[in-house]
């Protein structure tokens, strides 16, 4: 079972390999793209300028040398939901440049780009991004026509659904990756068309009120009572002064705070998952290192325990004081 | 005072030595810490590219008299302390000024992330009714109304029936009466767009499998539509693994119906596996590309985008405007795509396509946020829904007024009424290949 880890830049590579990471993904945005589009037309799903992506080919070359020494491969995210035809030239050049250095694997969501690359004779390995939302075996078997070497399941599938997709995959030697830690999105990435940019808050973080459609209705009255209380709190908090100092402090590390699939590790391994993905290209390196160490420990525990129930009980006790996290990937 | 970046975002400052790019770690005015994969000459020319938030472009500064000193030899790279210098002092001045502006920009961006927004209590509607009334308040000058009446004549009008309440209503009443009642409720009946009868109904839901009708209701609505002279389009949502069997069964049912009627049935599809199945099955169905597969940036805050005019054309289009992809879709049996009116004018590809209004989809989740909010009182405690109580028929999420957004069930929608107010917008779409208008009322 392999751990796939985010790489913010070339610097974190060795520390993460030593922590137990087997494979990495990173975003690379060449200057040619930045000059034309900056990140307003995004090259991958980290659509900000502030962080998360590498911008120099020299950094990619340095990283490649580390990969050759330490052996943990790095794949490149090209997982925007779509690309305009006018940008295909830059993308093609970028892929060719990276392949010439030694990077052969790209995470892609856009079917049009996949078709284009294959038509251009580009035989790179493609991992189908969860941003494509291939959530049934008919889709997986459709994409098998395009020589996909790995499918990455989104976070909004149950373990049973994942297992069924894997069992019904019509091609052998395909790898399957599942999200396992951090940054649970409220919505599904493949169906999220809102802007994720430096200028503004993510749409899923915009404050909202729970509102009845018809004030004369009394259906779900118990729910409505609680909604009203929640709304009151929200409105009060909106009018409260914002504490800049508090919010600018680095967030304390809490394992799996923002998204957790740890309890499902054993079931996912049994289902046929070959790789676990840790999310978090924006996280400080020391926190990602800790995530990888903890996850490696959980995987070893899962492999030692005979039953899933025992594994779940032990991992909850060890990491969460017996209390389950709210932001569960696989409830 | 010096401008200091202890760690500068790599996408906002890049250095070049001839053709080779170099990573900039830190900056203190003209002193840089650089990383190179190879050794550098002590005296060299360096180009530093800084992001300019005003122009939204990169300013390039060439420092032809720069020097570097090796600071550290790492495993596969060299870290240099560089001193930028230029024979032209105006370059240095412009660079220092650009650096200071970049510093302010980054602080401003960080503030958006730490503070996030400036909404207050008074930015929200008191009730859904208040929001609904304001949204559908559409005073129209007479000349606009006349233009609307003229331009809709050659196009098809379709009404979307996409939830349990509407299924019941349309089974109970003649379609025309049901549509009229709903238009009157929203005071749309007199609008020029609706001056001609509706030709078609869309049955089903693109975003939520729990709002898709069961086969019995679906068959009944299709039968009734045919009897009352309406054309029909069946609308499928994304298709989870556990829904494949049911979806297959429904497709077989539709194939049967279409063969008995002697005419192909149109189906809107939002899943590549289903599209592939229909193609290979030789069912008597015409697949149409659904809105979940027509991906583009759709967000009421798009107007806050820095230098939107620079990217407008690209934001108007997407992969459907690529020739090779259009050919692929045609080979899969798809020639019609579903669009929506939103903050940016869509670049409509060749062919005949549909446009939905006045709501557009922004985000959709496979796990229902409304269900999580109502059952667990926590949007993050999401789960796979086994029996849906249809909370979305009673509740919605309302957002700050200026955003014109609403949350329904597992999705957020934006409300865009430009096509209802401005005949030029509708005229432009019709002139570019839109031959069907689809009214989505959502509630």
Q: Kindly report the three-state secondary structure assignment for every residue of B60-105.
A: EEEEEEEEEEEEEECCCCEEEEEECCCCCHHHHHHHHHHHHHHHHH
Q: What domains, with CATH codes, occur in chain B?
A: 4-114 (2.40.10.430), 123-439 (no CATH)
Residue to mutate among B113, B237, B280, B328, with most A CBs inside 10 A, is B113
pLDDT tens sequence across B367-418: 999 999 999 999 999 999 999 999 999 999 999 999 999 999 999 999 999 8
Output phi, psi for B414, to 5 deg: -100, 155
Determine contact: A112 vs chain B, CB below 8 A: yes
- The mean pLDDT value of chain B amounts to 95
Residue of B nearest to A156 (CA): B366
Task: Assign A244 a pLDDT band (cuts: 50, 70, 90).
Answer: low
Tell me if B380 and A29 make a contact (CB, 8 A cut-off). Answer: no
Tokens at B158, concatenated: 């379709």
Task: Assign A235 a pLDDT band (cuts: 50, 70, 90).
Answer: very high
CA A312 to chain centre: 23
CA B170 to chain centre: 30
Q: Which of B112, B120, B405 sits opposite A239 (nearest CB)?
A: B120
Q: Which residue has the higher pLDDT, B262 or B1?
A: B262
Determine contact: A178 vs chain B, CB below 8 A: no
Angle at B365 between CA B362 and CA B366, to 5 degrees: 145
Residue B108: the pLDDT is 85
Lowest mean pLDDT among A312-326, B11-25, B38-52, B403-417: A312-326
Q: Which residue has the higher pLDDT, A204 or A246?
A: A204
As to burial, measured by CB atoms within 10 angstroms (0-12 exposed, 13-18 middle, 19+ buried), residue B306 is middle
Place of tokens 């924006």: A282
**Per-range mean pLDDT, top range of A247-261, B13-27, B298-312:** B13-27
Question: Which whole number is the average pLDDT over A36-56?
Answer: 91
Closest CA to A282 of A12, A3, A2: A12
* CB-facing half-sphere around the CA of A290: CA atoms within 13 A: 13
Tell me if A38 and B378 make a contact (CB, 8 A cut-off). Answer: no
Question: Which whole number is the average pLDDT over B138-144?
Answer: 91
pLDDT tens sequence across B50-106: 999 999 999 999 999 999 999 999 999 999 999 999 999 999 999 999 999 999 999
Residue B348: the pLDDT is 98
In chain B, the percentage of residues whose pLDDT exceeds 70 is 99
pTM confidence score: 0.96
Provide the pairing of β-strand B4-5 with B20-28.
antiparallel
Tell me if A191 and B365 make a contact (CB, 8 A cut-off). Answer: yes
B30 contacts B81 by C-beta, under 8 angstroms: no
Residue to mutate among B11, B50, B274, with most A CBs inside 10 A, is B11
Task: Tell me which fold the domain A2-184+255-320 belongs to.
Answer: TIM Barrel (3.20.20)
Tokens at B163, concatenated: 């939830």
B239 contacts A157 by C-beta, under 8 angstroms: no
Residue of B nearest to A258 (CA): B380
B70 contacts B58 by C-beta, under 8 angstroms: no
- Supply the DSSP symbol for B292: G
pLDDT tens sequence across A159-205: 999 999 999 999 999 999 999 999 889 999 999 999 988 878 889 88
CA B212 to chain centre: 22
Q: Which of B51, B377, B399 sits opposite A38 (nearest CB)?
A: B51
- Supply the DSSP symbol for B264: P
Residues composing chain A: 331
Determine contact: A153 vs chain B, CB below 8 A: no
Residue of B nearest to A245 (CA): B114
Q: Which residues contact A177 (CB under 8 A, 6 or more apart)?
A: A4, A127, A150, A151, A152, A153, A273, A274, A275, A276, A277
Contacts of A196 in chain B (CB under 8 A): none
Provide the pairing of β-strand B13-17 with B285-289.
unpaired
Cα dihedral A240/A241/A244/A248 (nearest 10): 0
- The mean pLDDT value of chain A amounts to 93
Contacts of A239 in chain B (CB under 8 A): 120-121
SS (H, E, C) A41-85: CCCCCCCCCCCCEECCHHHHHHHHHHHHHHCCEEEEEECCCCCCH
- Separation in Å, CA B118 to CA A50, A207, A237: 21, 10, 12
State the Cα–Cα distance between residues A174 and A187, nearest whole angstrom.
Answer: 27
Q: Which of B37, B241, B396 sits opposite A136 (nearest CB)?
A: B241
Task: Assign B3 a pLDDT band (cuts: 50, 70, 90).
Answer: confident
Residue A245: the pLDDT is 56
State the Cα–Cα distance between residues B369 and A178, nearest whole angstrom.
Answer: 22
Tokens at A26, concatenated: 């990173």
Closest CA to A74 of A4, A18, A122, A123: A4
Q: Is B23 helix (H, G, I), strand (E, B) or coil?
A: strand
- Restricting to A residues 270-299, those with a Cβ less than 8 Å away from any Cβ of B are none
State the Cα–Cα distance between residues A91 and A113, nearest whole angstrom.
Answer: 9
Whether the per-residue pLDDT at B115 is higher than 60: the answer is: no
Tokens at A263, concatenated: 């309890």
Q: Which residue has the higher pLDDT, B166 or A252?
A: B166
Helices (H), chain A: 13-19, 31-37, 57-70, 88-101, 111-119, 137-143, 159-167, 221-239, 244-248, 265-271, 285-304, 308-320
Residue A281: the pLDDT is 78
Closest CA to A176 of A152, A202, A140: A152
Q: Which of A136, A187, A331 sits opposite B271 (nearest CB)?
A: A136
Output phi, psi for A77, to 5 deg: -85, 125
Question: Packing angle between helix B215-227 and helix B244-261, nearest 10 degrees?
Answer: 20
Q: How far is A199 from chain B (nearest CA, A)?
A: 6
State the Cα–Cα distance between residues B288 and B297, nearest whole angstrom.
Answer: 21
B47 contacts B62 by C-beta, under 8 angstroms: yes
Determine contact: A82 vs chain B, CB below 8 A: yes
Whether the per-residue pLDDT at B113 is higher than 70: the answer is: no
State the Cα–Cα distance between residues A93 and A81, nearest whole angstrom.
Answer: 20
Tokens at A267, concatenated: 């079931």
Closest CA to A152 of A318, A316, A22, A279: A279
Residue of B nearest to A238 (CA): B120
pLDDT tens sequence across B326-366: 999 999 999 999 999 998 999 999 999 999 999 999 999 99
Contacts of A281 in chain B (CB under 8 A): none
CATH 3.20.20.380 domain locations along chain A: 2-184+255-320
For residue A170, the tally of other CB atoms under 10 A from its CB is 9
Tell me if A50 and B116 make a contact (CB, 8 A cut-off). Answer: no
* Residue B424, preceding peptide bond in cis (omega within 30° of 0): no
Residue A197: the pLDDT is 84
Residue B343: the pLDDT is 87
pLDDT tens sequence across B184-211: 999 999 999 999 999 999 999 999 999 9
Determine contact: A324 vs chain B, CB below 8 A: no
Tell me if B124 and A209 make a contact (CB, 8 A cut-off). Answer: yes
Q: Which of A206, A213, A331 sits opposite B396 (nearest CB)?
A: A213
Tell me if A211 and B127 make a contact (CB, 8 A cut-off). Answer: yes
Q: Which residue has the higher pLDDT, A35 or A38?
A: A35
Question: Which whole number is the average pLDDT over A306-314?
Answer: 94
* CB-facing half-sphere around the CA of B266: CA atoms within 13 A: 20
Lowest mean pLDDT among A48-52, B47-51, B433-437: A48-52
Residue to mutate among B295, B324, B411, with most A CBs inside 10 A, is B295
Whether the per-residue pLDDT at A331 is higher than 80: the answer is: yes
Count residue pairs from A and B with Cβ separation < 8 A: 340
Determine contact: A120 vs chain B, CB below 8 A: no
Q: Which of A141, A186, A191 sits opposite B379 (nearest CB)?
A: A186
Residues composing chain B: 443
Whether the per-residue pLDDT at B32 is higher than 80: the answer is: yes
Place of tokens 């493609």: A126
Residue A263: the pLDDT is 95
Contacts of A141 in chain B (CB under 8 A): 273, 276
Q: Which of A161, A191, A200 sits opposite B364 (nearest CB)?
A: A191
Residue to mutate among B378, B394, B398, B413, with most A CBs inside 10 A, is B394
Q: Which of A56, A85, A326 sits opposite B322 (nearest CB)?
A: A85
Output phi, psi for B278, to 5 deg: -60, -40
């Amino acid at each position: 079972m392999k751990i796939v880890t985010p790489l913010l830049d070339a610097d974190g590579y060795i520390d993460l390999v030593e922590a137990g990471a087997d494979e990495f993904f990173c975003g690379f945005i060449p200057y040619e793209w930045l000059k034309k589009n900056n990140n307003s037309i995004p090259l991958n799903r980290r659509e900000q300028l502030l962080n998360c992506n590498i911008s120099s080919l020299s950094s990619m070359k340095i990283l490649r040398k580390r990969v050759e020494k330490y052996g943990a491969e790095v794949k490149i995210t090209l997982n925007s939901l779509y690309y305009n035809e006018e940008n295909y030239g830059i993308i093609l050049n970028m892929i060719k440049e990276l392949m010439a250095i030694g990077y052969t694997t790209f995470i892609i969501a856009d079917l049009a780009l996949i078709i284009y690359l294959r038509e251009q004779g580009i035989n790179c390995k493609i991992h189908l991004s969860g941003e494509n939302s291939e959530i049934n075996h008919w889709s997986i078997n459709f994409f098998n026509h395009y020589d996909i070497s790995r499918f990455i399941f989104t976070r909004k599938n149950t373990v049973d659904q994942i297992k069924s997709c894997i069992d019904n995959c019509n091609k052998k030697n395909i790898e399957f990756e599942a999200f396992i830690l951090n940054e649970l999105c409220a919505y599904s990435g493949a169906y999220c068309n809102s802007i994720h940019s430096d200028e503004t808050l993510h749409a899923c973080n915009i404050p909202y009120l729970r509102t009845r459609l018809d004030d004369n209705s009394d259906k779900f009255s118990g729910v409505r009572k609680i909604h009203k209380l929640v709304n009151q709190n929200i409105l009060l908090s909106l009018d409260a002064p914002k504490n800049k100092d508090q919010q600018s402090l680095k967030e304390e590390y809490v394992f799996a705070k923002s998204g957790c699939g740890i309890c499902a590790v054993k079931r996912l391994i049994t289902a046929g998952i070959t790789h676990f993905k840790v999310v978090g290209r924006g996280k400080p390196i020391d926190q990602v290192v800790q995530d990888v160490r903890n996850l490696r420990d959980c995987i070893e525990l899962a492999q030692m325990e005979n039953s899933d129930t025992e594994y779940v009980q032990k991992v909850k006790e060890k990491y969460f004081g017996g209390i389950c996290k709210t932001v569960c990937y696989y409830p | 005072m010096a401008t200091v970046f202890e760690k500068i975002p790599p996408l906002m400052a890049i250095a070049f030595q001839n053709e080779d790019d170099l990573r900039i770690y830190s900056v203190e005015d003209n002193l840089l810490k650089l990383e190179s994969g190879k050794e550098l000459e002590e005296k060299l020319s360096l180009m530093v590219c800084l992001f300019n938030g005003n122009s939204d472009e990169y300013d390039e500064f060439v420092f032809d008299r720069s020097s570097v000193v090796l600071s550290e030899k790492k495993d596969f790279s060299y870290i240099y302390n560089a001193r930028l210098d230029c024979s032209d002092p105006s370059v240095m001045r412009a660079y220092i000024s650009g650096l200071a502006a970049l510093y302010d920009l980054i602080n401003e961006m960080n503030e958006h992330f730490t503070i996030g927004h400036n909404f207050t209590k008074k930015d929200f509607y008191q009730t859904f009714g208040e929001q609904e009334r304001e949204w559908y308040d559409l005073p129209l000058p007479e000349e606009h109304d006349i233009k609307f009446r003229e331009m809709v004549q050659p196009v098809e009008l379709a009404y979307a029936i996409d939830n349990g309440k509407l299924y019941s209503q349309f089974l109970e009443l003649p379609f025309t009466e049901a549509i009229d009642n709903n238009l009157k409720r929203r005071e749309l009946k007199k609008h020029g767009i609706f001056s001609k009868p509706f030709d078609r109904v869309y049955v089903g839901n693109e975003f939520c499998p729990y709002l898709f009708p069961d086969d019995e209701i679906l068959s009944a609505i299709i039968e009734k539509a045919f009897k009352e002279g309406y054309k029909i389009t069946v609308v499928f949502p994304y298709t989870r693994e556990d829904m494949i069997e049911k979806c297959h069964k429904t497709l077989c049912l539709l194939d049967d119906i279409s063969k008995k009627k002697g005419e192909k049935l149109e189906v809107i599809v939002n899943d590549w596996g289903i599209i592939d199945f229909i193609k290979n099955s030789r069912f008597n169905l015409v697949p149409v590309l659904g809105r979940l597969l027509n991906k583009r940036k759709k967000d009421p805050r798009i107007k806050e985008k820095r230098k939107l005019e620079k990217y407008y054309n690209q934001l108007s289009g997407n992969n459907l405007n690529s020739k090779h992809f259009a050919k692929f879709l045609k080979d899969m049996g798809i020639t019609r795509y579903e669009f929506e009116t939103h903050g940016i004018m869509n670049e409509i590809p060749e062919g005949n396509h549909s446009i939905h209004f006045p709501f557009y989809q922004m985000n959709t989740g496979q796990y229902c946020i409304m269900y999580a909010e109502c059952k667990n009182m926590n949007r993050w405690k999401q789960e796979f829904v086994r029996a849906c109580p249809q909370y979305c028929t009673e509740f919605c999420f309302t957002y700050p007024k200026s955003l014109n957004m609403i949350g329904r069930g597992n999705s957020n929608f934006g409300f865009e009424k430009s096509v209802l107010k401005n005949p030029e917008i509708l005229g432009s779409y019709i002139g570019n290949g839109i031959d069907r208008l689809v009214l989505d009322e959502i509630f």
